[in-house]
Amino acid sequence: MVLVLVFGVLGYRILGDFTWIEAVYMTIITVTTVGFAEVKPLDAHTQIFTVFLIVTSVFIFGYAISVVTEYLLGRNSLQTLKKKKVKKKIDALDNHVVVCGFGRNGKQAAERLKAYNKPFVVIEKNKEIIERHENEALFIEGDANEDETLLMAGIQRAQYLITAVPDDATNLFVVLSARQLNQKLFIISRASEVTSIKKLRFAGANKVIMPDKIGGDHMASLVVMPDLITFMDQLSIEGEHTTNLEEVEIEDFTNQMPCNSLRDLDLRKRTGCTIIGYIEPDGNYIINPEADLELQPKGKVIVLGRPEQIRKLNQMFKIG
């Protein structure tokens, strides 16, 4: 387009013997076809040039408009296609996790879920955050307070909900809405204030986490018993080659071999792993259980071992 304007100005300047200002004026009224009168009468050569300039500018203008229109429509079509693709993937999920908010805590939760290959959907209302991280997770753009947004994330088929929004009031509304839509949902909520914990539990949250309190407790523990806390920090529960802890359902063992007690499992001899905890079906935790502890079908054991021992355990009993 700039070339057309330059071409027109030079043409009028040379053929019509116009001044620079007159040439610019003639070029603009010719290209824009506004119909204003010429600065002065045109000779035959200038008239032919004017006709040529009008035809050229019309074609170039039309081409420019088509390119811009095609770009805008193409971009909208691409966004629509992406949203349809994401929706199709979300509709295929079952027993997945819904993460509300992709701030610091929400992002950490998503990274941990990804490390465990646990399917999840993120609800985030900040479009810039979604565009920045769209390749890292399945995103739903919207407000987690709204039932429609939760339904788009498949809340009725979900197994867990993690609401990690910084505002406690927002988390409270999310918990209330999610509990109404799915009574069996296991809800984990973030809280910033101690006074919010009771309210969130009353609204339907199964677990309430205070990140600031956990961080403060951890720092204080490093002062009181630094070696113990540092050792615990070395324990990893994610990754294929760094896992030290594993949670295993009793049914994973009973499907492979008859066993009524921890002694029957004899994991120490078979894999080198040590059972450090037992979770009863009602959720009661037993630390360092006795070897004669009777195993229940819906129970679980917490196993400690080096990464290679954990891998041997998983391979032997076909876990995960």
Number of domains in the chain: 3
For residue 210, pLDDT beyond 60: yes
For residue 165, the domain's CATH number is 3.40.50.720
Q: What's the whole-number average pLDDT of the chain? A: 84
The pLDDT value recorded for residue 182 is 95
Residues 255 and 206 in one domain: no
Is 184 part of any domain? Answer: yes
Residues 98 and 156 in one domain: yes
For 87-126, write each residue's pLDDT tens digit: 889 999 999 999 999 999 999 999 989 888 899 999 999 9
Residues 97 and 187 in one domain: yes
Domain of 8, in residue numbers: 2-84
Is 167 part of any domain? Answer: yes
Choice between 68 and 209, residue whose per-residue pLDDT is larger: 209
Q: Is 287 helix (H, G, I), strand (E, B) or coil?
A: strand
For 21-65, write each residue's pLDDT tens digit: 777 766 666 666 666 666 666 667 666 766 776 677 777 777 777
The pLDDT value recorded for residue 76 is 58
Is 228 part of any domain? Answer: no
Residues 210 and 102 in one domain: yes
pTM of the complete model beyond 0.75: no
Is 42 part of any domain? Answer: yes
